[in-house]
Every structure is written in C-alpha cells, then in structure tokens.
Structure 1
Amino acid sequence: MKRRIRRSEQEYLIDCCALCKCSENCPDKYGEKITLKSQELTVHYFCLLMSSGVYQRGEENEGIYGFLVDDIKQEVRRSSRLKCAVCKKNGASVGCYVKSCQKKVHFPCGKQHQFIFQFTDLFPSYCKDHSPTQSLPVSACVSEPMSCSVCLDPIEPVLSYSVLKCPACHGSWFHRDCVQNQAHSAGMFFFRCTLCNNKDMFQQEMLRMGVHIPERDAAWELEENAYGELLQVYQHCDAKKCLSHNGRTYSSRTGWFQILRCALCGSRGTHRKCGSLKLDETNWACEDCAGAVDGTGRLFAILCLFWSNWAVKGIVFWCYLICCAKNKLEINIDNLMIGRPFLLGGSAREILQELASQTSQHQLSMPVVVNGNKVLEAAMELVKRSDFNPSHALAVRFTSNKHSSSPDTCPGNTRHFLRLLVQQLQDTVFEGPDGAKTLTLDARALREDVYFDVGCLLSLSLVHGGPPLGFFSRALYLCLFNFPRDTPLTVEDMGNTGFTDKVKKIQESKSLEELREAMESASEYLEVAGCTRPVESLSDKDTLVKDIVSFHLITRMQLPVQRFCEGLKTLGVFDQVQMFPGAFVGLFCSSHDKLTADTMAALFTVQFSDQEETVEKETAVVTFWRHYLLECEVGRCATSLEDVLIFATSADVVPAVGFSPSPSLSFLHPLDPAGAFPVSQPSSNRLLLPVVSSYQAFKKHMEYAVCQLTVLQSI
C-alpha cells in the first residue's frame, strides 16, 4: 500500500529544488528559485543551467526560461541514479565537462569543493582537477601592500581557486566571493576591473573562471533613489567637548563655529574652536584618518597629487588608508608610493622611468657585439640567447674602428645601437607608409616567432633609452590597446593595396548591380574571409564592408598580434600601456617633434667655471652656441640639429625614457686656438665647447667635429 504523504511534508518537498534537494533561497549562490505549483516542481536556476542532461528546447516563455517541464522531470529521473562525488547521495545532475572524467556532483556540493561553472556558451562545469587556472606573466610585478580590490582586506598574491586577478592590468587581485558579489551587484553593463577599468577582457576572464555575470543593469540603477543618503552632508561636531552654545549640529557660514569635515573620510566633523584650529584653517583630518599616515605633514599634498592625476584610483587609495586606520593597521606612505608606482598614471616618460629603475638595480650586463651596421642581426641573436635577461644593462660594442674608442658599457653606444635598431625594425614585420605602419602577415615570421622577438626588442628599446617609436598607425594601436575606445576600423585602415581598392569599390557602389559586380571582382578574397553572401539590397554593403575590414585587420592577424603583444610584455611595457593608453599614444603613433634651436638650447644645462675671469669668455661662447643652433635650424650650417645632438649624446631625439643624466655644457680653454675643437662625452651627455674669440672660429670647429662623426657613422 502506498504511503500517504502529510501535507506539511509535501509542501517541504515542493519547496526543495528537484535537482539538488536543497530548499535554500539564495539568488547570489544558486540563482533564482523557481516554483511551478501546477507541476509541483521547484528548481534553482543555476542547478538547471549546469545540469548535464537537459537543454533549452522551448521558447523563452515556455516551461522555465525555455527548459520544458517534461525535460526537467526526465533530468531529475536521470540524475536520481547518479551518486554525488562529495555528499555520496543520489541526484548528482552536474558532471565534469572533460569526457574522461566521471565526477558528478550536486550544484551546491560542487561550489563547496571548487568546481568551476562557466556561465557562457554550453555552460560547462569542471572539477578541481580539470578546472581552468590563471597564470602570472614573468614580467608582471607584484607589489606590496597587496589587498583585495573590492573589500580592501589583505590578500596573499598567490593565484588559486579563491584568489583571482585582472588579466588586463595584473595589479588588481580579488577574493572570488568578493568579485562574485561585485558582479551580481554591477551586472553586465557595469562589471569591470576596479583598478584599470577594463571591461571586455575582464568579463571574459571572469566568466572563464566561473564568475556569474547577470545580464541586466546594475542593481543601483534599478533601485529608486539609491544614492539618496549621499545627498546629505555630515553636519556634526565630534570634538570631546563642544564649545558651541547652539549645539553640536550648529554650523556658521564662517568663523570659529563653522563645522569642518574630515578631508579624507568626510564622516567626522569639528568646529574650529572645538578642534583648536586656526581661524583661517580649512584642512582637517579626524583621528582615525590621521592615524593612517606617518605624521610628517604630507597627508594633504599626497591627497592633492592623487586627486589631480586619477580620481578613481585616488578613491581606491584613500579607502585603503581609511580601512587601515579603522583597523589600527600601520602603513607606510613611502612604501605605498614606491611599491605601486603606476597607481597615479602620469606621463609615458614617468612610467618608463619607473620601469627603467628595474634595470638600474642589476649590476650584470648583457654583451652585444655589432658587426658594422648589422644591428638587427645582433639584436635577434641577443633575444634568442638562453641567458637573455631584459633587466640587465646592455654592453654594446661595435667591431668597426669608428666606435672602438668607446667602452662597452658606454650609454652612448647603447643609444646609437637602439636608434639604429628601431629604424631597422620598421622593415621587419611592418608595412605601410612611414609614420603609419601596421603589422604584416608573414608565414615565415610566424614560424620563426619573429613577432614576439620584435615586440620584445621594442620594449627593450623603450626602457633602455631608445627613441620614441612614432611609426605605429592608429589602427595598429587600436588593435593592440583598444584606444580610442569604441572607434570603428575603416577601409582606410587596411592600407594601400590592390585588395583595398576592391573593397572601396564595394563601399562606393551606387546600385545593387554595381555592388554585385564589385563583389564578383573580389570573390576569391571574400570566400577566404567568409564574406561570400547573397545581397538583396544596397544597404547590405555596410555590413559586408564592416565584416571584411574586421577579418582583414583582426581575425586574419589574431596570431601575429597575440605574439607581438606577448613580446611587448617584456619589462612590463605592454601592461602599463594597456592601463594608460592615452598617455602612450603619442609615443607609439606620433612622429617626434622636430628639434628647434630653442628646444635644443633648453636641453643643455650650462655649467660655468668657478673663476670669475673666465666666466665672461664662457658667456660669449654660450652666445656663439645659441647662434650656431639657429643657423643649423635654418640650414646655414653643414650640420643639422640632429647631427649636433648625436655628437653630444649619440641620440638624434630625446629618448622615450628621457636623458639620464641631463645633457650639460662645459667649456674647454685651449692654449692653441687652432686646435680648439669641441669634445663630446656621450656616456655623461656632456658637451665641452671650445672658448674662442670669434663666432667664425667657433662655427668652423663645431662643423668639423660634428661632420667628422657623421661621415664615420655613414661608412
């Protein structure tokens, strides 16, 4: 005889999820709990999505979000015969996606035992042994102090199931639970890295690592008047003894009894009189926030620095400070500023100088021997060496006699080497006009991994004192760093090729017949690009052209771009450019500013002699120097300004990382005016000018010395 089920027991069974047998209603963890009373069926949405034997065969409004009731019941019957690998009970509906793996679990059991559930594509699930993992690039720098970018609690920067990182900036670390809560709150439209603000790459990586991102607007956008409390200003004197006769909430517009709020947290206040402040004082910090700094009086200076550079990152920084203060934790401002140098952003030169500081700590050097002008060959041999270390200084030696006078480690040799290297690299895997080059597709370069080597050498050049690049096209920069954001690629970005002309004919078609004729002439390439399709109206050409451009510049070049980016990650260059693409766009895409007499004169610091009797003569020589630069600028000399800069520093432009040390001018007092030639010391960026009595003699000797070096380097 069949046992009768009591009403309360029946209601409990209906309230439990038919798949995981759990009655808990927690949308964050298990998704929406859905009950069909007419079918006496309850399921968690995530349990349903991740079940291995049920699929959406209905319309969106049928069953439960397209899962038919009969299919769900069949899945319940199927899973009732399967034992969970965790709790050992039947009903395990979720299986590992790897076919050779036989592990099956309930969805809640899987979450407890580090299963990863990917809420995308076919909604696969992976057990702990086969789950995807993250890796930290060798070039990424882990700095202290390290905290979760969501909750700001300390976090150990070791990748695991419970600790994740941002794939874009490598500087943002998260607890898994924290980033899941953030995703549930922010939704797909606002979920992004809290540090670098990257959205697309960040969301893709979080989905891969099992973070569910709801397809909706942010929770705060759906809640009416969600920020109402922020419209109120804190208005209360928190001094131990309030001296105001009108009470702690009274605040005058000015004077002793105006309430000043904490400049950091804004949640504490005091009257000037009660806080023993001066009448003209406007900056005040509460005890909690003041305890977060080292008491040297740099609190507000640092606040202004952060706020003026990047407001969002400033907020993150100060939240960290206040969190430390509330928990009575000690922090050191100097360590924060040095340990995370790129939190402020700044200019490209400042960021590269921080990267260059990594190399200055190493006393070892990498020897580079260059035969004549075969700089590219020497550089390729360098990066393929088993002991290659990009952090070590370069010890460049040219085997030709013209450079043998300089020591191996001379910065002048290195700058000359890097200047020639950047020039020769432009003819390797790049194509297009000068100043607007893109990557070219080269099967041999792919096979030999030249794209990686070129990216590595460009990063090496930027950090070790090479010139600004300035030859990238805007399209290449957009493909590499997604800047400017939301900028579409166009036919013009494809370059000047025969196929580009055919695509332009498609774009410029005035009738459907012209469009079909243009497509016929480009049919072979359209077939390769997967763009062969029937067109029914002239408006179809816009989508067609967009798909062709996308294939030509993105899909076709995916592997070369990927390897090129991996090479650019050397010394952390790619990561920093990706974080601050606006700061670097001029360095990569814009040709450097042409030298002028004024900018050239401003580069050099004049160092006069200590003897007063010689200063007057040296001052006259400075006048000769500036006049000489003016004549070089307008073409009245045999030398150019670039030739003069090469003579003094071995660089024809200011390096991307800047000069170190700064160029300087000193003076020679020759006994014989006939032998009064200038002397350069590229190792210290120092130029010694001869003290002569006339400008004609000065010009003659300068031209001779500079031209002699120019001729030698061209041999």
Structure 2
Amino acid sequence: MWFISCAFVVCVLCKRRDNCPDKYGEKITLKEHQITVHYFCLLMSSGIFQRGEDHEGIHGFLVDDIRKEIRRSARLRCMGCKKTGASVGCSIKSCRQMVHLPCGIEREFIFQFTDLFPSFCRKHRPTQTCSTSPTLPLCCSICLEPIEPVLSYSVLKCPACHGSWFHRNCVQFQAHSAAMFFFKCTLCNNKDQFQQEMLRMGIHIPERDASWELEENAYGDLLQVYQHCDAVKCCCDKGRSYSAQSGGYEIVRCKFCGSHGTHRKCSSIKLYETNWSCSDCKAAAEGAGELSLWGILSQPISYFNSLEAMVWNSAYLFFHARRCLDASPTEILMDLATQITPQQTTAVLLQNEEVLEAALQALRQTDFNPCHTLSVNLVRSKWSEKVANQRRFLSRLLQSLQNSSIFEGPDGTKNLALNSQALRDDLYYETGSLLALSLVHGGPPVAFFSPALYHTLFHYPPDYKLTVEDLGDVILTNKVKMIAESRSLSELKKAVRAASEYLHVAGCLRRIDKLADKSMLLEDILNFYLIIRMQLPLQRFREGLRTLGVFERVQACPEGFYSVFCDPVERMTAEAMFSLFTPQFSAEGEKKTKEDKTLIFWKHYLNECEGIYGQCAASLEDILMFATAADVIPAIGFNPAPLLSFFTPLDSSCAFPQSHPEANHLILPVLPSYELFKKHLEYAVGQLSVMQAI
C-alpha cells in the first residue's frame, strides 16, 4: 500500500481542500483506493483506531476502518457548519457535541495529541489557572506583540515559570517548527513540564527533528565567517583579509553581530581577550545610540530618568520571571570559575605590603591571562600554602581598591571619583578587571558600592533616583545641600552665589527668578556631576568588569548580585560558624562518643566568642581565618565545603588544633575538659595572629 500527498483533493472526513500541516496535519491520498484525508482528522475521529502496523493503510489506520468511519460520520451532523460528516465528538460521554475537525478548531475545541487522542468541547475543555497576579504590561514571549493577561483558549502560559505568556497560534507554530527535541519555553527553557502542559492544552508536537534540521545544507552559512579587518588603520602588510591562526594578526569578530572584525594588533586587543565589539554594537549595548551626549546635556535629569525607567521597566517586567529562575550569585560565580585552569598560573609577587601595586603589575604583564590561577608569593609571609596566600592577598586587595583614588565617599558606600591621572593610566579599566578577578578567583564580596554606583552600572534598582547625598565631593555636597534646603528666594540666590564656581563648570549658572526654579536647577546639577562627566570613567570601569564575563552575568541578574556589591558583609555568628563546618565522626562507637563531647565543646566556645562580655581571646573571624585563611565567606563560597574532624592526642598537654586552609579543614583535639580545649584552641589561633602581624 502506498500513498501520496495531494493539495487539491477534498478530505473525505472534513470535506475541505485545505492543505495546512500545522493545523490539520499532513494531507494524504491513497491513489489506489481514492481516499484523501487529513492525518489529524483520522487521529481525532471518534470511531476509528490504529489497528494496523505503521506501514499499513495510513500510518496504521486500515482502509476498511477508514471507510467504516466515513459511513459512520455521514449520519452525524456538525454543530458548527450544520452539515453531515462530523467525525469528531467530545470525549465526555454525556456530551453529544459533534464537529468536523476544522469546525472544532473554529469553535475552540481542544484536541489532545496523546494517549487515546481525546477531544473536548468549549464546555468540557481543560483550562489553565494563574496562581500569581501577572505584572502588566505583558507581551507574547514568541511574537513579542502585546497580550491581554487573561488565560483563555487563545492565551496560554508556561506552567514552570509563570512569566511566559503566548498566543495559541504562536506556540503551535513554534511547536510545528521546533518539534519534540527543541520545543521548550522561550524564557525558562523548561522542556518536560512545558511539553506536557502544551499537549494537555491541545498543542500538537511533531515527533521528528526540527524543521531547520531537515533542510539540506541548513548550516552551510555557519561554515563561513567574516574575515576582514575594519580598523581605521590596518597594520597588516598582507592586507585586511589576511587572518593568522593566532597572534597579532588573527582576526577577531564582533561578539554581538559577527559582521565586523579587526586584527588584534590593529585594535590593541590582548592575546587572551575575546570579547571585542564593533563601534556600532558597542554604542547600542551601552545606550549611546540616538541618545547622544549633547542630547543628555540639553535634557533635564527627570527626562533622562523617565526615559531610562521606561526602557528598563519594560525589559524588567518581561524578563523578571526568567531572572527569578536564575542561579544564586554563588552558583553563577562558580560557573564562571570553570574558566580557570589550575595547571597554568600567573605569578604575583608581593613586597612591602604594596598589594595594589603587585596586582597591577601582574595585570599589566603582556602574557597575563585572567583564566590562569593566581600564584601569590608573599615575601615575608610565614605561610606556604598557595590557597591561603591567595585568599589573604585578595582580601587585602579589595580593601586597597576601596581606598584607592578612583573611589570617593564614606566607607561602605563608595562612588566613582573623577581622576584625570587615573583616566590617562586607564586605572578605571584595571580596577574593574581586578574586582572581577577577585570575585571569580575566590575573593570576598565587594560590599562597598553605593546604590547610586550600582544603579549607574547595572540599572538596578530600576526606580532608584539620584540624590544630593550621592555627590562624593564634600564641599560640593554641602553647597548643593544649601540650594536644596533653601526655603525662600533670597536663600536660594545666596546658595547659588556660594556655589557659582561649581554651577559655572556644570553650565548651570543662571538667573533665578522664583523659588520654583530650584528643582530644575538641582536636576541639572545632578545630571552633570553624576551622569555626564562620569561617562568615560564608567565606560572603562564596565569594560574592566567584563573580565571573565562578570559584568554580563551581573547585568543579567542585578537584584541577586546587589548584596554582593552593596550590602555590608554580615558579621559572623556562632550559629553560622557552627553550621558552616560539617563534622566527620569516627565509625567506632567509643571514639564517636568522645568526638560528640568535643563537638559540644566547640559549639560552646563559639557561643562564648560571640558573647558581649569578651570571654574569649579570639573572635569568630580569627577562628575562620585559622581554618580557611579567610576572615569572611568568599563571594563564590568555599570549595571544598569546610570540614571538621577530630584526632585523639597521645599527650593532652600539647594537643593543639590543626588546620589545612587549602582544604578548608579544621581538626580538633579530643580533650578531657572544656578548659583545656579552650586554652589550646586560643593558643593556636593566637599564634596565627602573631605570625600575621610579623
């Protein structure tokens, strides 16, 4: 038995000529038996079953059975078109509604392409519910057109993320194109739960490869890449189209469009850098397109904020569900850390406590690669462990960066300062790069960005408004505060005269005729000092943060990383310290009993360290430093997880705790009394503090 597709013959079941595979299935003709039928009409017909093999009849539907179904349906009238031949009925036994398949689609029947292929009328069809109120406005996550956030036959949602809403026609077209192996939610990428729900709601998912996989030479264009240097001045003697396998004359393509390129040497791209972007894409990515610098200067800050808020809020609302499903900052940083190769190292030589200088010296090496492990050598250090040296170095580096000349403001809430020497030395880029390196290589949380700086970099919080307190310069802040706090026209004019030098530089010095002019004046001042004049430092700082992909990942989930960059580091508590270390007990019963007692000593000592009366010589941070060489939990977390084990000494009088910081492993002695346990633990921790001070 053989069959062919025919586009112009009427289907024997629905009596239509339509040839629309995504709606009615493949249109098949058995030429020998003069039968033409839509495949979906066969599947959904209530009186026929697949009793044959796949090669028999039409995909297992035998010819005799098809003829019987034609005769059966000829006696039934369609409730849609009122004509005979209705072969599809509602699967609820008490329901008598019969339709042709196309009429059923028009009358919003749901046809489930699974199990026994049941059909359901409008009254009995399955529905979706919304457990959370959708945030307006919404758009279809497939066609991106506006969508009314009311679940219906025409509007469906993803069961996994609840943030992806779409038109039925859009998701059916996507399913027909992507098929079973590639059909998934466009926002959260959930596949199994998403497909089950779509089948329940009547979406047909073909069991084949995606449509693009079936095209001949579908990926032929991907084998060709852009090979041309578009730099203003090309330094290559062999021409702009020459590309070496590696080195200075290797062509690097734009990471966004891939349609522009440059030789590394022609654009001063280092050998390890891969994230180059062309001028067009860079302008678009950084928002410099139509909103030019002059345009910002000529607009009040309220306009700038409203425009930014409008753009951000639309994106924020659309992708909010997706970001909520993202991993935690610790998991994201651990994912970024997979780029690091332990086999290759970058040497950092620290002398005379000049931490920042040592870091910059390593960063400026011609062969520096951020993916190489940092090998820190502390010249006068008593520690030989590489991990301990690295953690100590990164902790001190972060403190040095916070106190550097490119930041201003009180501790814990720093803003970028405008420093011409730092611009000439490209210190903003290097500082951003060092912060990114510290986070991925196991350094502590940044914890000193001001909300204004974080908002300027990552546009979060989306509704944040810049204030006078965000100005870093103390003298400028006081003068602008006088303007903001003026209560009369005379006070305002006096405050303006006092700040005239600053206003002249900002282009804001003007005649004041009424008190209402104050708000516009303040907007212009903040606009200049916090946005306009800081464009270049912010741009270079962002570029530095792109090292190892940190900026892109933070930008994708800014609310999660807000605590890493802005919130102060939480003070360690006894409970947190106790739960941080996982105890490892002996298998032998008697030993385990003694170790349980030692664990009680350990918990009691931690509580004493946290006490307000200072009952212990060591702090919780000192103990954490002794065990892990870090006084705070790194932003990336501890890897491996901290471990607590025990040993039974031969002589209790000299049984001191031991630690292996590179493995985050603390080993406690099993001692007969708490007083002896406390004495030995404080001695060991105290010795470490003395060694650090030397």
**TM-score, normalised on structure 2?**
0.58
Choose which of 564, 568, 582 in structure 1 pairs with 2:541: 564
Mark the CA change 1:395 to 1:527 in structure 2 (over 3 Å): closer, same or farther: same
Which residue number corresponds to residue 269 of structure 1?
112
Superposition deviation, residue 248 in structure 1: 3.5
Choose which of 205, 210, 227 in structure 2 pairs with 1:325: 210
2:336 matched to 1:355? yes
* C-alpha separation in 2, matches of 1:320 and 1:393: 47
Mark the CA change 1:667 to 1:270 in structure 2 (over 3 Å): closer, same or farther: same
Q: Deviations over 1:56-106 (max 9, x none)?
A: xxxxxxxxxxxxxxxxxxxxxxxxxxxxxxxxxxxxxxxxxxxxxxxxxxx
Matched residue SS, 2:564: helix
Which residue number corresponds to residue 599 of structure 2?
622
* C-alpha separation in 1, matches of 2:624 and 2:687: 14
Letter of the 1:430 partner, please give it. Answer: F
Choose which of 382, 387, 393 in structure 1 pairs with 2:362: 382
Mark the CA change 1:707 to 1:320 in structure 2 (over 3 Å): closer, same or farther: farther
Matched residue SS, 1:364: strand
2:389 matched to 1:413? yes
Q: Deviations over 1:415-471 (max 9, x none)?
A: 111111111111112121121111122222222222111111110000000000111
Which residue number corresponds to residue 578 of structure 1?
555
Which residue number corresponds to residue 49 of structure 1?
none
Contact 1:238 / 1:270 at 8 angstroms: preserved in 2? Answer: no
2:647 matched to 1:668? yes
2:496 matched to 1:656? no
Moved more, 700-709 or 267-276: 267-276
Which residue number corresponds to residue 212 of structure 1?
none
* C-alpha separation in 2, matches of 1:319 and 1:240: 14
* C-alpha separation in 2, matches of 1:270 and 1:455: 54
Letter of the 1:269 partner, please give it. Answer: Q
Matched residue SS, 1:510: coil
Letter of the 2:335 partner, please give it. Answer: E
Contact 2:90 / 2:118 at 8 angstroms: preserved in 1? Answer: no
Matched residue SS, 1:687: strand
Which residue number corresponds to residue 549 of structure 1?
526
* C-alpha separation in 2, matches of 1:271 and 1:238: 12
How is 1:5-84 mapped onto 2 (pairs within 5 angstroms)?
A: none
* C-alpha separation in 2, matches of 1:298 and 1:487: 32
How is 1:22-421 mapped onto 2 (pairs within 5 angstroms)?
A: 241-242=43-44, 244=46, 248=88, 250-252=90-92, 269-270=112-113, 272-274=115-117, 292-293=180-181, 303=190, 325-328=210-213, 345-360=326-341, 363-403=343-383, 405-406=384-385, 410-421=386-397
Letter of the 2:190 partner, please give it. Answer: L
2:528 matched to 1:643? no
Choose which of 691, 696, 708 in structure 1 pairs with 2:670: 691
Identity fraction in percent:
47
Moved more, 382-391 or 441-450: 441-450
Contact 1:600 / 1:641 at 8 angstroms: preserved in 2? Answer: yes
* C-alpha separation in 2, matches of 1:479 and 1:462: 20
Superposition deviation, residue 687 in structure 1: 0.6
* C-alpha separation in 2, matches of 1:365 and 1:509: 59
Matched residue SS, 1:397: strand
* C-alpha separation in 2, matches of 1:390 and 1:683: 21
Contact 1:677 / 1:702 at 8 angstroms: preserved in 2? Answer: yes
* C-alpha separation in 2, matches of 1:658 and 1:640: 21
Which residue number corresponds to residue 490 of structure 2?
513
Q: Deviations over 1:201-253 (max 9, x none)?
A: xxxxxxxxxxxxxxxxxxxxxxxxxxxxxxxxxxx995954474796352549
Choose which of 676, 679, 682 in structure 2 pairs with 1:700: 679
Moved more, 367-376 or 421-430: 367-376
Q: Deviations over 1:134-174 (max 9, x none)?
A: xxxxxxxxxxxxxxxxxxxxxxxxxxxxxxxxxxxxxxxxx
> What stretches of structure 1 of length at least 5 have no aligned partner?
1-235, 258-265, 308-317, 332-340
Contact 1:239 / 1:274 at 8 angstroms: preserved in 2? Answer: no
Mark the CA change 1:417 to 1:305 in structure 2 (over 3 Å): closer, same or farther: farther
Superposition deviation, residue 273 in structure 1: 3.6
Which residue number corresponds to residue 482 of structure 1?
459
Choose which of 404, 411, 416 in structure 2 pairs with 1:434: 411
Matched residue SS, 2:531: helix
Mark the CA change 1:485 to 1:298 in structure 2 (over 3 Å): closer, same or farther: closer
Q: Deviations over 1:516-545 (max 9, x none)?
A: 111111111110011011222211110100
Contact 1:237 / 1:249 at 8 angstroms: preserved in 2? Answer: no
**TM-score, normalised on structure 1?**
0.56
2:448 matched to 1:605? no
Contact 2:176 / 2:206 at 8 angstroms: preserved in 1? Answer: no
> What stretches of structure 2 of length at least 5 have no aligned partner?
1-37, 48-85, 98-108, 120-125, 129-158, 160-170, 195-202, 219-321
Choose which of 524, 538, 542 in structure 1 pairs with 2:515: 538
* C-alpha separation in 1, matches of 2:213 and 2:654: 71
Mark the CA change 1:578 to 1:324 in structure 2 (over 3 Å): closer, same or farther: farther
Contact 2:111 / 2:117 at 8 angstroms: preserved in 1? Answer: no
Letter of the 2:691 partner, please give it. Answer: L
Matched residue SS, 1:583: helix
Superposition deviation, residue 714 in structure 1: 2.4
Letter of the 1:471 partner, please give it. Answer: F
Superposition deviation, residue 546 in structure 1: 0.8
Mark the CA change 1:458 to 1:290 in structure 2 (over 3 Å): closer, same or farther: closer
* C-alpha separation in 1, matches of 2:414 and 2:402: 8
Matched residue SS, 1:293: helix
Contact 1:289 / 1:322 at 8 angstroms: preserved in 2? Answer: no
Letter of the 2:88 partner, please give it. Answer: R
Contact 2:642 / 2:663 at 8 angstroms: preserved in 1? Answer: yes
Letter of the 2:508 partner, please give it. Answer: C
Count of residues paired in the alignment: 443
Letter of the 1:348 partner, please give it. Answer: P
* C-alpha separation in 2, matches of 1:511 and 1:319: 71
2:692 matched to 1:681? no
Superposition deviation, residue 513 in structure 1: 2.1
Contact 2:370 / 2:437 at 8 angstroms: preserved in 1? Answer: yes
* C-alpha separation in 2, matches of 1:686 and 1:249: 69
Matched residue SS, 1:402: coil
Superposition deviation, residue 325 in structure 1: 3.1
* C-alpha separation in 2, matches of 1:294 and 1:679: 53
Matched residue SS, 2:672: coil
Which residue number corresponds to residue 205 of structure 1?
none
